[in-house]
Amino acid sequence: MSDLLTAAQMRAIEQAAIESGDVTGLELMERAGQGVVEAIFEEWPELDEAGDVAGGQPPDPRGISGNRKRAVVLCGPGNNGGDGFVVARLLQGRGWEVEVFLYGDAEKLPPDAKVNYERWLQIGAVAEYTSKLHMHVLKGDFDLVVDALLGTGASRALDGVLGNTLTVLSASMSGKERKHKRVAIDNPTGTNSDTGVQLDFDHVEWTGFDADLTVTFHRSKVGHWLDFAADVCGKIIVKDIGLEAKPLTKAGKSSLAVPVDERVWLLDGPTRSLGKHVGHKYSHGHALILTGGSGKTGAARLAARGALRVGAGLVTLGVPPSAQQEVACQITALMLTRVGDATALDVILGDNRLNALCLGPGMGLERARDLAPVALAAKRATVLDADALSAFADDPEALFQMLHENCVLTPHGGEFAKLFPDVGAKLAAVPTKGPAYSKVDATREAAARAGCIVLYKGADTVIAAPDGRCSVNAAVYERAAPWLATAGSGDVLAGFITGLLARGFAPMAAAETGAWLHVESARAFGPGLIAEDLPEMLPQVLRALAPEG
Ligand SMILES: NC(=O)C1=CN([C@@H]2O[C@H](COP(=O)(O)OP(=O)(O)OC[C@H]3O[C@@H](n4cnc5c(N)ncnc54)[C@H](OP(=O)(O)O)[C@@H]3O)[C@@H](O)[C@H]2O)[C@@H](O)CC1
Ligand SMILES: [K+]
């Protein structure tokens, strides 16, 4: 998958193409509408009984009158609505019966949308999009609903007519009995294409347009992979509309977000080693994972198993004396060393072969506060998770001052909000106007402040570096793995990243690769997964990627 764009970046690319004289806005709109129609018939060939996609032949009223497919196209006040008028015309050209509704004032449509509105008026009618629309639509029996109400221009709260009607329509369109398909153009109305966040409507819970298919243009948008949108886009199809993949300006490029995919492992994984002595256990690094006290060592043991499975040469658990017996009884391939306090840790870190550390899982707040300064002063590649983050909730600045560029923070939403309260508040604010603030923006800001990699967990995990690099590892659509939300799953992720750091992966690559493998391991297992299963699925996942993985 290619880079993920914000609405502003997409507009800039479109504007540059138009200004270069390569293409007009009207041509782009036509290609967008064609792309939507193509996608509909590729997805549901059974809807295409009336003819071929490119044909656009006028309907033969005699031959298919009793059997015509029916579409409802909901058009909005901007260019997204313009795409809708193109789709309406092309479907009618293929013999469909099409009803078009316009939300907004036709006189105020932007120029290209207005042209397509007028072209449609030559062959069909436009009804007003009112709060009574759903009554009318409900009476009909139709095959397809097209949402061309709001696209990348949507950022503020929805008004009553739009929100109410869409809510009632969507509710009436749901359920097992539903026969028709629902397509959103660019993004489902009710979502923001930069953030994926649900637009506010009257401060009530509402669904927006719950699509089966979302057809977008040139590149997928960041918001398709984040937050609420991932629940309502259905499936994303990206259609080429002839915009060249010209490199963005330097400033633009550093602000791109990229999706994480198997390349993160294929580029680095199979060959990555620390020294010349490939095959020796020390050439794959030595990770130290600090546990909590007696009765609280399970989380760190899970992390350690993850680190070992992902290929760290050696993994040692650093236990307080009280937990030594407990841990010794539970481990086999792992090693164990006593780390009673900060002084003991300082001595152990005198061994330079210990090249990756993990602090946090089950560690206890007090122990985390005691050991973090020594661990961070050693400047090893270090993962800070769970208690190692919460321990600094009252004074995040104290943590930031100790962090260094080889650290990876792995907060979930609650930990993130404690460490970066102002950033968390911006993210939680209901968007009122664009450009909206997304999880991508928030994670970037956090990484810049912390001066290290921040991996903000969730089904839409975002990973950012202080220099602005950013990637999205979304477990949504065909990669959905809801069973990954299980106790201890985050501990295994911390272990995967620690193991990769031990193998010599750079912190950003370790975070991306760990997050990607974590989701793949969950998918390989399927429902019923518990955290212990995740490390055990790794060999299978790695084998499928590369024989020597
Ligand atoms: N870029 C490209 O390459 C291409 C783009 N294309 C298409 O254009 C789309 C972008 O078009 P766009 O910029 O006109 O925005 P769009 O989403 O139609 O909305 C703007 C209108 O909605 C209004 N409005 C906003 N929020 C609202 C709310 N909550 N409730 C009510 N109204 C609200 C807003 O009003 P205003 O804020 O101006 O008062 C304005 O009137 C894009 O998604 C794609 O489909 C393709 O044709 C080809 C290539
Ligand atoms: K839309």
Instruction: Find out whether the beta carbon of 80 lies less than 6 Å from any atom of ligand 1.
Output: yes
Mean pLDDT of the chain: 89
Model pLDDT, residue 549: 42
Angle at 520 between CA 210 and CA 235, to 5 degrees: 20
Which range, of 43-57, 464-478, 486-500, averages the lowest pLDDT?
A: 43-57
Q: 152: Cβ below 6 Å to ligand 1?
A: yes
Q: Ligand 1 atom closest to Cα of 152?
A: 43
Ligand 2 midpoint to CA 151 (Å):
5
The reply to whether ipTM tops 0.85 is: yes
* Distance of CA 189 from the midpoint of ligand 2 (Å): 5
Residue to probe by mutation, ligand 1, list 79, 85, 183, 243, most atoms within 8 Å of CB? 79
- Quote the pLDDT of residue 352: 94
Ligand closest in space to the Cα of 208: 2
Handedness of CA 339, 343, 347, 353 (dihedral sign): positive
Residue nearest to atom 1 of ligand 1 (CA): 11
Alpha carbon of 103 to ligand 2 centroid (Å): 12
Task: Give residue 323 CA to ligand 2 midpoint distance, Å.
Answer: 57
Percentage of the chain with pLDDT > 70?
88
What was the pLDDT predicted at 273? 53
Which candidate, 379, 388, 406, 403, places its Cα nearest to that of 505?
Answer: 406
Q: Would the CB of 146 count as within 6 Å of ligand 1?
A: no
Pick from 205-214, 363-372, 414-423: least confident: 205-214
Question: Residue 50 pLDDT more than 60?
Answer: no
95 band by pLDDT with thresholds 50, 70 and 90: very high
Binding residues for AMP: 457-461, 490
Instruction: Tell which atom from ligand 1 comes closest to the C-alpha of 28.
Output: 48
pLDDT score for 175 = 61
**Closest by alpha carbon to 381, among 404, 410, 351?**
404
What is the fold, at CATH topology level, of the domain defined by 278-545?
Answer: UDP-N-acetylmuramoyl-L-alanine:D-glutamate ligase (3.40.1190)
Confidence at 275, pLDDT banded by 50, 70, 90: very low
135-165 pLDDT per residue, tens: 777 666 789 999 999 999 987 888 888 888 8
| Ligand positioned closest to the Cα atom of 16 | 1
* Nearest atom, ligand 1, residue 193 CA: 43
Residue 174 banded pLDDT, cuts 50, 70, 90:
low
Mutate to test the pocket of ligand 1, among 6, 23, 150 (most ligand atoms within 8 A of CB): 150
| The pLDDT value given to residue 159 | 86
Question: What's at 497, amino acid-wise?
Answer: I
Ligand 1 centre and the CA of 79: distance in Å?
5
- Residue 53 reports pLDDT greater than 90: no
What spacing in Å lies between the alpha carbon of 108 and ligand 1's midpoint?
12
Distances (CA, A) of 88 to 37, 83, 473, 514, 541: 9, 9, 36, 45, 45
Please report, for residues 221, 287, 398, 438, the alpha-carbon distance to residue 444 in angstroms, rounded to integers and kept in the order given.
17, 27, 20, 10
Domain boundaries, given as residue ranges, for the chain: 7-48+70-244, 278-545
Ligand nearest to the CA of 200: 1
Strand duo 381-384 + 314-319: pairing:
unpaired
7-48+70-244 CATH: 3.40.50.10260
Residue 304 exposure: Cα atoms within 13 Å on the Cβ side: 25
Residue nearest to atom 40 of ligand 1 (CA): 78
Q: CB of 447 within 8 A of CB of 491?
A: no
Cβ–ligand 1 distance for 30 under 6 Å, the answer: no
Given this model, what pLDDT does residue 64 score?
Answer: 44
Q: What is the pTM of this model?
A: 0.92
**All residues with CB under 5 Å from ion ligand 2:** 147, 151, 184-185, 189
Please tell me if the CB atom of residue 110 comes closer than 6 angstroms to any atom of ligand 1.
yes
- Of residues 129 and 65, more confidence is placed in 129
Confidence of residue 280 (pLDDT cuts 50, 70, 90): low
Q: Which atom of ligand 1 has the smallest separation from the CA of 187?
A: 43
Instruction: List helix spans (H) across 269-323.
Output: 298-309
Residue 5 CA to ligand 1 centre (angstroms)? 16
pLDDT for 457 equals 97
Q: Please give the pLDDT value at position 52.
A: 45
Q: What is the pLDDT of residues 246-271, one digit of tens each?
A: 656 545 555 788 888 877 777 776 66
Q: Is the sign of the CA dihedral 393, 399, 405, 406 positive or negative?
A: negative
